[in-house]
């Protein structure tokens, strides 16, 4: 198999025709795709980024290097008029920002030598979606409300018409509540991923943790704190074997479906939708005030908030949740505190004391 030759855009040449301009643009985009591949980004992310750049190019009156903030404004506003979701618009803006950072960092000189144009970054703080507009603030229920939900749910499991899926949904949701696992990480756990021999509480090997910027899975070891060790022992000792004889297969799914995969000779994995539906149904039943608002990710936020409120420091939380940046972890912490009110009371108390005449 032969690799396609990508021409060196660093060599000087004149862009005399429209074809020359088009080929030069294509070379820049190809170089960007190669750089992303070299960084280990997934094929899906590379393809999506490349597609976004091409989509943006079609909206421009000139070549890619001539784009301005006004052009980006019109492009993003057009996506909004088309009814694209906020997260979609933000994702495309982010991909364009990375592309232009790449062009400016590597090929600003080439572009200027060939075209006389100084490339500018068209995505700035004014036209990029803010965190608030993305709806990233997911304030979770209180401790009392979460306890009410899970206490009612736990009691109902033994009385459920279908005990096994009821117990499975409760187990998965409890992992989100106690360890802050993502739903995608949960469904990809295998039986071998429980390592009771590691650490004081045992650890879960999360092999398919979410990587940043399309870099593929980011594995981590999650200690089974917060009662998770007891939960996992209950699941494996009393429930999991009832799904089928694959309970002793280390490659069998930790969170199985009721369906049997004959090709692999073990249970299939439970799907995201099935687990989401289980949480939704139990929320309607036991915590109706939060119906439609309690999701797996909200329980992840609850886990971070409750552990931080119990004294866990942010660095430890960052490792537990699998975040690359500490700033991301801080957005997960929503601690119900009266420190603002107490500061106001203390300040007023000092004012009162300052105004009170001292006795001689």
- Same domain, residue pair 54 and 180: no
- Structural domain includes residue 129: no
Q: What is the pLDDT of residue 360?
A: 42
Residues 316 and 173 in one domain: yes
pLDDT at 350: 67
Alpha-carbon gap, residue 181 to 185, rounded angstroms:
6
Instruction: Tell me how far apart the alpha carbons of residues 310 and 315 are, in angstroms, rounded to a whole number.
Output: 14
Q: 196 with 290, same domain?
A: yes
For CA atoms 254, 258, 259, 262, give the dihedral sign: positive
d(CA 191, CA 171): 14
Task: Specify which residues 195 forms β-bridges with.
Answer: 203
Sign of CA dihedral 76, 80, 83, 87: positive
Q: 99 with 68: CB under 8 angstroms?
A: no
> Do the domain assignments include residue 156?
yes
Q: What pLDDT sits at residue 202?
A: 95
The pLDDT assigned to 230 comes to: 96
Cα 263 from Cα 254, distance rounded (Å): 18
Q: Are 247 and 240 in contact (CB under 8 A)?
A: yes
Residues 170 and 228 in one domain: yes
State the pLDDT at residue 7. 46
267 has which bridge partners?
A: 260
Q: Which residues of the chain have pLDDT under 50?
A: 1-7, 9, 12, 132-133, 359-360
Domain with 312 in it: what CATH number? 1.10.443.10
CATH number for the domain harbouring residue 92: 1.10.150.130
Domain co-membership, 101 together with 190: no
Q: Examine the domain organization and report whether 178 and 57 are in the same domain.
A: no
Domain that holds residue 25: 18-115
Report pLDDT for 212: 61
Of 131, 66, 52, 31, the closest CA to residue 97 belongs to 52
Same domain, 50 and 166: no
Q: Looking at the 3D structure of the chain, how many domains does it have? A: 2
Residue 338 lies inside a defined structural domain of this protein? no
């Amino acid at each position: 198999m032969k690799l396609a030759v990508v021409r060196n855009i660093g060599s000087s040449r004149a862009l005399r025709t429209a074809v020359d301009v088009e080929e030069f643009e294509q070379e820049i985009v190809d170089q960007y795709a190669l750089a992303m591949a070299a960084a280990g980004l997934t094929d899906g992310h590379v393809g999506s980024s490349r597609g976004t750049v091409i989509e943006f190019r079609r909206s421009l009156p000139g070549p890619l290097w001539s784009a301005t903030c006004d052009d980006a404004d019109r492009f993003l506003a057009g996506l909004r008029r088309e009814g694209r979701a906020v997260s979609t618009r933000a994702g495309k803006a982010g991909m364009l920002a990375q592309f232009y950072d790449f062009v400016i960092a590597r090929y600003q000189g080439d572009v200027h030598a060939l075209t006389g144009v100084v490339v500018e970054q068209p995505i700035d703080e004014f036209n990029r979606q803010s965190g608030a507009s993305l709806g990233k603030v997911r304030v979770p229920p209180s401790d009392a409300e979460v306890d009410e939900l899970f206490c009612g749910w736990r009691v109902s499991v033994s009385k459920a018409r279908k005990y096994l899926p009821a117990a499975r949904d409760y187990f998965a949701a409890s992992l989100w509540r106690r360890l802050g696992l993502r739903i995608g990480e949960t469904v990809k756990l295998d039986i071998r991923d429980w390592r009771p021999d590691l650490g004081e509480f045992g650890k879960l090997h999360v092999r398919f943790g979410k990587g940043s910027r399309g870099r593929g899975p980011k594995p981590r070891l999650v200690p089974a704190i917060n009662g998770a060790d007891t939960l996992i022992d209950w699941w494996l000792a009393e429930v999991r074997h009832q799904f089928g004889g694959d309970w002793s297969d280390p490659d069998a799914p930790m969170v199985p479906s009721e369906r049997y995969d004959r090709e692999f000779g073990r249970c299939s994995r439970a799907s995201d939708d099935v687990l989401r539906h289980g949480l939704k149904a139990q929320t309607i039943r036991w915590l109706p005030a939060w119906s439609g608002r309690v999701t797996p990710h909200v329980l992840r936020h609850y886990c971070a908030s409750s552990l931080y409120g119990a004294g866990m420091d942010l660095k430890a939380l960052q490792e537990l949740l699998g975040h690359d940046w500490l700033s991301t972890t801080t957005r997960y912490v929503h601690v119900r505190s009266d420190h603002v009110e107490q500061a106001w009371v203390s300040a007023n108390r000092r004012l009162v004391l300052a105004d009170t005449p001292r006795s001689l």
